[in-house]
Each structure stands twice: as C-alpha cells, then as structure tokens.
Chains A and B, each alone.
Chain A
Amino acid sequence: MTCIIVGGGRAGFQAAMTCRMLRPDQAVTLIDAEKETGYYRTLLPQFMVGALPEERLFFPTGNNDPLLTVRTGVRVKTVDCDSRSLTLEGGETLGYDRLILAHGGDPYLPGILAGPPCHGIFPIRDLTNARRAKAWLTDHRQVVVLGGSLVGVKTAVHLRQAGLAVALVVRRGHILLRALSPESTEVIEAHLRGLGIEICVNAPLEEISASGGAIDALKVGGRWLSCNTLLVATGTAPDTSFLEGTGLLTDGKLIVSPGLQTSDPRIFAAGDVAVISSRGEKISPNTWPQAVSQGRLAAENLYRAVPTPHRDMTRINAMDLHGLAMVILGPPVSGAEVISHARADAFVRRELFLVAGRAVGGALIGDITAAGTIHALINSQRQLTAREAGLIRPRTENVIRFPEQTGRRAALILSPKRSSL
C-alpha cells in the first residue's frame, strides 16, 4: 500500500503532505531528480541577487515522519503499469499501489546554447543553478535575461533593483506575449524602461561571443549586446521520456481528466506536467497556486471511486514589479470582447476579456482592486451583470454591491403535477 510521488516540486510536495495527512497508515515515497527538494522556486530571483537568505527558500516542515521517504538526486527510468512498479536509473525497482506524477518541467534551452560550455550562462529554474548564478553575479554585473515570460520579467526587475545593468531580450512579439494584450504590455514595458531595463523585442539569439571561456557578448536580432552573464528563462518542457511505451502519453503529453487521473486509474498527475482535458480543451495552467491545489487534489482523489474534478482552471499570476502591481487573470482570447479602464499617466490599465458575456481572462495593472472578486467571477463561468462588469473601473473600494432592494424573498418552484393543473 505504498504511494509513490515522482517530483519534489510544489505539486509533488503538496501531494506527499496531503497523502500523509489523509492516510496516516500509508507509506509515501517521494522521488526527485534534483539534489534538493522542498523549496520555493518562485523566490529564486530574489535569492540570486542576495535579497533573500537561503534558509527562507525552504518549505516549513514538521517533525520527521517515518512513513515519508524522500529520495533526492534520483531519476525514474521506466514505469511499468501492469506490474505497478517503476525502475530507477540505478536499476532499483519500486512497487506502488498508487502513483502521482508531478515531476514538473526541465528548462528549455535554445539550441545555440548547446555549443561548447561557456561560463556565465545559467538557466533560471533550480536551486543548484541559482546558487552558481548568485556567486557569479557578485563580480559580473552586466546581465542579459533571455525570455520575456513572467520569470524573465521578474528576474530582470530584481536584478535591476539590486543595481545590476540589465537587458531583457525577447525572441518575438512583446514581453509576456502569452499572458497580456499588447496594450497592457505597453504599460509594463514603459515601467521597466523607467527602471532602467533595456528591452530588446523581436530579437532572436543569433550568436554568443566568449572570451577566456566566459560569455562577453551576444548577438540578438542583428545587434551585439555586451554582457558577462546570461540568464535563460525561455520556459520549461516536461520530461515525459520515461513514460514512453506506457500508454499514458498522447502526442507526447500526459493528458489527465479534470480529476487529474491518467488513462491508468491508479496513476495521477499534477503540476506543470499535467495537461488537463476539460470541455474539449487541453489546459495546463503552469502556475504556483495550481501546483498546490492540483497536488492536493491528486492525493485526495487517489482512492475515490469517482475522482473529484479540479474546479479552478484559471491561470492567475500576480507580482509586484518594483512598485507596479500586476495581476494576470487569464491570457488574451482572439475574438473576445474587451472592456478596459486605463489611466496612462498613472501606469494603470485594467481589462477584461469577455466571450458570450462571460469573463474569460484579463489583467489588472497598476491598480489591482477587486482582483480576487473578478477571479471568482471568471471561475463562476456565468454572464456578467453590468454591475459586475463595472468592477473593471473601480470608483470606490467597494467590490461587493448589494441589490437595491434588500430583504429576503422566497421562490416557489412548482412540481410537474401542480404545473399541469
């Protein structure tokens, strides 16, 4: 009756904690390829610039649990669904009663970086690389951040706050291409430029120049940028190679039901590796709160006859970009109606994307009033009333408005028998 969890990121850790809490008699083994596990990956940029001590990176944990085994620095080689076992790279075989796959993604590196090893290049993903980058940055203060994703933008801001010279390079389009509309991005880019960050858009990485085995410049979009550090934040890709041949993959992706169950009812998936199939869509929110809630739900669903579906499929992200608050409520949808409120002088832009009267996404920049309430409205998947749509333009701090005529009412729903009379 052992439960094995592959992956020690937020989803895997949450799944392990929930398993132990719900089923105190069941042993849990957590396997992670990294040498260290149980840390806040989202805080790595702050850690790299020395704004956060290393001890603050780790999850608070309780007393030693004899039924929880954490094995780090170990990769899974194969999974055998028939015999309910998995084989580790060292050759060891472990049997399981239930399996949760939550091994997240490996950093995706552009092909050009696969050349000869060069000092000063670090992916922003794990603690080992963050430690190396931190040490390197102490005397290499001219940084290029490659990738305009949230991680890239956040890293650029923290580096700049720490006094480093920073250029943010985006391969195509604008920064936060998949998360924000061009209008919202303009606000963010203007703010970042105001902070002193150089932004290079539509600038694919073409060439790297090294001197003495260390990077000293790179060519992006036809121009050379002088730098001595390159931080790569070009996204992650889940490693599903060890699942090939198991029947769990569809087109190389680990597709799960809304209850996070794979095609094998004894195997569940959570976090960045899981692609949730819901209402004809394939959703992979890839956010920290989703990793937590999915990890918990996977553990709760392990022994349910009918797994409970995951309710919140939103891709909410929030951050503070050195004084500019931002909440991303969902990516732009082509053809959606847009309602917005902007105060360019104050770096404020609030927008909602509506499809058939229902809010499906949006962004709040500079003024995040009612973010949680709007998030709840998106989750409700119902048509917005004019009053609710008015939240995009906050006149007061009030976010919940009562109907003009208060008081209790009763509704009488007739039975078919009475209706026919």
Chain B
Amino acid sequence: MKVIGVYMDRCLGCKTCELYCGAERGSEGKTLLAAVQETPVPRPRVRVEGGPGGAFPLQCRHCLQAPCLDACLTGALHRDEKSGMVIIQEERCIGCWTCTAFCPYGVIYPSCERKIAVKCDRCLYMEKPVCVDVCPTQALEVMELDEIEELLGEKRQNTTKALAGVGREGIRILDIGR
C-alpha cells in the first residue's frame, strides 16, 4: 500500500499543496484563476497544520482501523480492496457529517454547499497525488509501506546504538515529542 510521507524539515507551511489540491480536485476549471472565481469555493482535501517553526501537510491517513468507516450511516465510505484506501462514493453520501465527527485527524471535510463530505483519495486515478507533485520543497513523497518498514528498521538500529552508548542501566525512551 502506498502512503504519502512528509519530510517535516522541508515543509515551509506555504500551503501550495492546499491551493493546487483545491483547484485540481475541487474545482470545475482546474486552474487557480478559474478556481478562485467559482462558487462554492473549491475545497482542498489536504490541510497544512501547525505554523511557523513546525508545519505539516495533513490528509486522510486511510487508517487500517478507520473510525469513519464504522460511522458512515449510508455505506458511502468503503475501503477499496485493491488500493487499501478509504474511498467515499459521493452519490451515496447524504452529508450527515457523522464521519467528520469520527475522524481524529479532522481531515474529512463537510462541503455544506454540495451536501457531501470530501476527503483525500490520494488522487487514486492520477499518476501522482497533486499535493506531492506541486510541493516546491519536495517535502511530500509517495512511499510504499515496505519502504517505511525499512526506515523504521534503520531507526531501531540507531536506537540500539544509542542505548549501547549510555550504559545498561535505566530505560531510555527516545523521541518523546513533548
């Protein structure tokens, strides 16, 4: 399964991904100029969280145990067997917003004008997700989950080395982000 990875040290919080996602996936005109003139205003499926000193583009994580799937009252949300992604069938969505209340990341958005919920489908039918394609600092990258396993293995090795360096007593917990 493919996922979108983020290099946090590269993200500037410039919101280019938001702009282009809104234009390409949410607008009729498919250009920034056309998109800003449309009503309702096109809605992006990615949102840049945080602020100066730490920004992060966030889109649907396609959770393996996705709470939104349980929450959907109409069967509009389902998992695509081939890609493993959580996809919304717009024609079945009634805009009850239950899924938005169950997404812990807040990345299912109510489109009140269209009366449907919108979410990232990782540009399933395109060559590459728009947000990844347009990021000026290449902070976003499509990765296979296997590659992430490799990265995690590398991290575990570093942890082991770090532990060896501080002696054998005590438990060392790395990377507590508080």
Q: Which of B49, B51, B105, B174 contacts A410 (CB 8 A)?
A: B174
Contact of B104 among A42, A372, A403, A414 (CB under 8 A): A372
A375 pairs with B101, CB closer than 8 A:
yes
Is B126 part of the binding interface, using a Cβ–Cβ cutoff of 8 Å?
A: no
Q: Please tell me if A401 contacts chain B, counting CB pairs below 8 Å.
A: yes
Q: Which residues of A contact B124 (CB under 8 A)?
A: none
Whose C-beta in chain A lies nearest to the C-beta of B172?
A: A412
The total number of A-B Cβ pairs within 8 Å is 146
A373 near B178 with CB under 8 A, answer no
Question: Across the interface, do B98 and A400 meet the contact criterion of CB distance under 8 Å?
Answer: no
Q: List the A side residues contacting B95 at CB < 8 Å.
A: 320
Chain B, range 40-59, C-beta contacts under 8 Å to A: 47-51, 53-56, 58
Q: Mark A319-345, 1 if CB is under 8 A from B, else 0.
A: 110010111010000000000000000
- Chain B residues closer than 8 Å to A251, beta-carbon distance: none
In the complex where A376-B104, A401-B51 touch, is A59 in contact with B75 (Cβ < 8 A)? Answer: yes
Chain B residue, CB-CB nearest to A58: B75
Question: Inside 8 A of B74's CB, which chain A residues have their CB?
Answer: 40, 42-43, 56
Q: Is the CB of A288 within 8 A of B92?
A: no
Q: Are B98 and A318 in contact (CB under 8 A)?
A: yes
Let me know if B5 is at the binding interface, CB within 8 A.
no
Give chain B residues whose Cβ lies under 8 Å from the Cβ of A399: 49, 106
User: In the complex, are the beta carbons of B58 and A46 less than 8 A apart?
Assistant: no
Residues of A within 8 A of B175 (CB): 408-410
Query: With A59-B75, A372-B103, A411-B176 in contact, is A402–B51 under 8 Å at CB?
Result: yes
Min CB distance, B164 to chain A, in Å? 14
- Decide: A415 and B112 in contact? CB cutoff 8 A: no
| Given contact pairs A293-B70, A402-B51, A415-B170, A409 touches B177 in the complex (Cβ within 8 A) | yes
Q: Which residues of A are found within 8 Å of B71, using beta-carbon distances?
A: 288-289, 292, 316
Taking a contact as CB atoms under 8 Å apart, the answer to whether B112 and A411 are in contact is no
Distance in Å from the Cβ of B80 to the closest Cβ of chain A? Answer: 13
Q: Are B101 and A372 in contact (CB under 8 A)?
A: yes
> Which chain A residues border B104 with CB–CB below 8 Å?
372-373, 375-376
Contact A413 B173 (CB under 8 A): yes
* Number of chain B interface residues as a range: 35 or more
Known: A316-B98, A319-B96, A413-B170. A400 touches B51 (CB 8 A): no
Interface: B150 (CB within 8 A): no
Q: How far is the CB of B18 from chain A (nearest CB, A)?
A: 9
Provide the residues of chain B in CB contact with A400, threshold 8 Å: 49-50, 56, 58, 105-106
Q: B106 contacts A402, CB within 8 Å? A: no
Min distance, Cβ A16 to any Cβ of chain B, angstroms: 16
A residues 354-394 touching B (CB-CB < 8 Å)? 368-373, 375-376
**A375 and B103 alpha carbons, distance in the complex (Å):** 8
Q: How far is the CB of B97 from chain A (nearest CB, A)?
A: 4
Note all chain A residues with C-beta closer than 8 A to B58: 400
CA distance A403 to B56 in the complex (A): 13
Query: Contacts A320-B96, A401-B50 given: A410-B172 contact, CB under 8 Å?
Result: yes
Please determine whether B97 and A42 come into contact, CB atoms closer than 8 angstroms.
no
In the complex, the answer to whether B177 meets A408 with C-beta atoms within 8 Å is yes
Contact A410 B53 (CB under 8 A): no
Q: Which of A49-97 contact B (CB under 8 A)?
A: 52, 56, 59-60
Interface residues of B in 88-129 (CB under 8 A from A): 92, 94-98, 100-106, 108, 110, 112, 115
Instruction: Give every chain B residue within 8 A of A183 (Cβ-Cβ).
Output: none
- Chain A residues near B78: list those with CB within 8 A: 60
Q: Which 6 pairs of residues, A with B, have the shortest CB-CB distance? A: A376-B104, A372-B103, A406-B54, A402-B54, A292-B70, A371-B101
Between-chain CB contacts (< 8 Å), 7 pairs: A316-B98, A316-B101, A318-B97, A319-B96, A403-B54, A404-B53, A410-B173
